[in-house]
Structure 1
Amino acid sequence: MCVGVPMTVIRADGATALCERRAEQRLVSTALIGEVVIGDRLLVFIDSAIRKLDPDEAQQIDDALDGLAAAIEGRPFEHLFADLIDREPELPPHLRTERH
């Protein structure tokens, strides 16, 4: 399974950017999203940026990935899903059906 991960642009150069996540650096294609600047947070999937992220969304994705790792290892993980506590699960808008 492939998972998109948030990465931070540390150098931008045309259609590529050097990005970093937790001390790992990768050269990432930005052809799908256009110009990026140093400090932008990107959702990276197989060394291609697929969209820009705001800092809160990037943190939620990082927390969810950490939560999955903690659950697999048998460690506490509930605190890493704070955005899901005390609310009913919802389908994303594009998967919802209209009710008349």
Structure 2
Amino acid sequence: MQVVAVGEGQALCAGPRGPEPVDMRLVGHQPVGVWVYVHRQTAREVLTATEGLRIVAALEALEVLAAGGEPPPDAFADLTDRVPELPEHLRTQTRGASTGAITDRWDPLAPKLKKG
């Protein structure tokens, strides 16, 4: 969300449903125009403009998908143009294991396939 007005410990941010009050105490005072990641009406992280616009594009693409449409091909470019990486705390648990051994541990489709 993008900050559009500031107050003491809070800000009014532009969101998909219009302006919303946001608690800014975790990220501190931010000037108008700054992008912030918001969860449950609380700013959790200050974002670059590129990150903020990428999130907006992804949310808009999800709405298009939910309505049965086709999103723009670059809507999820940050996910489709790279190989997914494990968080550091999981990398240490899987060092030395083959890729198949890691992916064989959990397959989100396997429970559905086995039941059918």
TM-score (norm 2): 0.68
Residue 91 (1) aligns with residue 61 (2)? no
- Residue of structure 1 in register with 2:104 after alignment: none
Structure of larger gyration radius: 2
Q: What SS does the corresponding residue of 1:43 show, helix, strand or coil?
A: strand
1:32 is aligned to 2:26: yes
Shift of 1:32: 1.0
Identity %: 35
- CA distance in 2 between counterparts of 1:37 and 1:30 reads 11
* Residue 82 (structure 1) aligned to one of 77, 82, 85: 77
What is the CA–CA distance in structure 2 between the aligned matches of 1:39 and 1:94, rounded to whole Å?
34
Q: Does the alignment pair 1:52 with 2:55?
A: no
Aligned length: 94
Q: Greater helix share, 1 or 2?
A: 2
- How much has 1:23 moved relative to structure 2? 6.8
2:58 and 2:37 map into 1 onto residues whose CA distance is 14
Determine the C-alpha separation between the residues in 2 that align with 1:9 and 1:86: 29
For structure 2, the residue ranges without an aligned partner over 5 or more in a row are 97-116
TM-score between the two structures when normalised by the length of structure 1:
0.77
2:69 equivalent to 1:71: no
CA–CA distance in structure 2, aligned partners of residues 23 and 72 of structure 1: 17
CA RMSD of aligned residues (A): 2.1
Pairwise CA distance, 1:94: 4.6
| Structure 1, gaps ≥5 residues long | 1-6
Match of 1:19 in 2: 13
In 1, Cα distance between the equivalents of 2:87 and 2:55? 16
